[in-house]
Amino acid sequence: MRILHTSDWHIGRTFHGNSTMDALAEVLGALTAQVRENAVDVVVVAGDVFDSATPAGPAYTLLGDALVALHETGARVIVTSGNHDSAARLGFQARLLRDGINVLTDPRAIGTPVTVDDADGPVHFYGIPYLEPAIVRQHWPDAALRSQAQTLAHAMDLVRLGMRDNPGRSVAIAHCFAAGVDATVGLEREVRQGGLDVVPLSVFDGPDYVALGHIHGRQRISERVRYSGAPLHYSFGEQSKPRGSWLIDLDEAGLASVEWIELPVPRRLVTLTGTLEQILSDDNIAAHSLDWVCAIYTDPLAQAEPMRRLREHYPYCAMVQHQPTETSEKVERSYSDRLRGAVTDPERIEAFLEHVRSGHGASEREGELIREVLDDRVRAEALI
């Protein structure tokens, strides 16, 4: 049996205020073509289908179009919910979906597999929706479910009970933060504070393959436990991580092979670092004018209207940051130290500018303007 493992579509997510719907539709179209070209039997979507628990109407339309297109290739489609999804909203129409599309959001059905047969016999797919301990412990009052890790461990025990009652090959699908992953700073790591604590690898013992979601970059936790990552880049922290899916082959004995299949990137992400003049060089503009750009300019002083100047040449500049590389020894002095050492008004202004400019005081022209303003004030006060 041939399985395609994908996850974290995050339908409805924006990228620095820009819609990603068209780009995601393009990528999911390419994924559908890969399913057809590789004669995939089952497509697994491991959670975070939507980016929000309350997706807008166009997000439902895109999901419906994608599921129907995948089903029309002849593949079965199995979808589970993630921590971004509302299980109720994602699963409310599950009974209305055509045969061959399964949306698994009910924690009470974890031990009941979706079974797909091939020439070597049955393959049982166990879908584990994202489990919030405070919500699902009502279903298992005798289990100690204080953390998400404990809850997922209990869910995998239910999967193993299901495997005992349903002989054959098996695949588990879950959405979690597994031990050993390399998470994207500022994107996935902070989600642990919201309940996704680390799940030990041993929790996933048993199935022939475990398809995980939540981490946006592909990860091989073990030969049989993997993350596929997201089909789009959703942050500049992901820009070096490839986009794609895992293609899994099961033979009569179980896991036979795993292959990575790249997905196209509709618009590349790039971070350009240097002075503003260097970032706006002809070579950079020629190479990256159509990319999503994060510009980190290192000029000693903040530049006037950097975003406007950048977007004249990089229309898809999404972020600009000022990170000066040159610092003065004066930075080590506190603002109060500077003020104590200032006697005249020009010295006090200079102390303030050094404080807010990381040690850089007034330029020659700024010094002239400061002196003119102060002289005008002295003359005005003399007339009172």
The Cα 302–Cα 298 span in angstroms is: 9
Burial class (CB in 10 A: 0-12, 13-18, 19+), 217: buried
pLDDT attached to residue 194: 41
pLDDT attached to residue 189: 44
pLDDT attached to residue 94: 54
pLDDT attached to residue 193: 39
Spell out the domain ranges in the chain.
2-262, 269-322, 329-383
| DSSP letter, residue 13 | -
Which tokens is 287 given? 């190479």
Q: In tens digits, what is the pLDDT along the chain, a chain of 384 residues? A: 999 999 999 999 999 999 999 999 999 999 999 999 999 999 999 999 999 888 888 999 999 999 999 999 999 999 999 888 876 667 665 555 668 999 999 999 999 999 999 999 999 999 999 888 888 888 888 888 888 888 999 999 999 999 999 999 999 999 988 887 766 555 544 444 344 578 889 999 999 999 999 999 999 999 999 999 999 999 999 999 999 999 999 999 999 999 999 999 999 999 999 999 999 999 999 999 999 999 999 998 889 999 999 999 999 999 999 998 865 444 455 667 766 766 677 777 877 877 776 666 777 788 778 878 877 776 676 666
Q: Residues 287-297, buried b or exposed e (16+ Cβ, 10 A)?
A: ebeebbbbbeb
Does the domain formed by 2-262 have CATH 3.20.20.20? Answer: no
The Cα 34–Cα 355 span in angstroms is: 57
- Radius of gyration over every alpha carbon of the chain, rounded to an integer in angstroms: 28
Question: Could you give phi then psi for residue 257, rounded to 5 degrees?
Answer: -160, 155
Closest by Cα among 156, 70, 66, 167 to 115: 167
Which tokens is 349 given? 């202004």
The Cα 112–Cα 129 span in angstroms is: 13
Give yes or no for a contact between 91 and 47, defined as CB atoms under 8 angstroms apart. Answer: no
The Cα 160–Cα 150 span in angstroms is: 15
Q: What is the DSSP string of 165-183?
A: HS-SEEEEEEESEETT--P
pLDDT attached to residue 354: 74
pLDDT attached to residue 178: 87
The Cα 30–Cα 272 span in angstroms is: 29
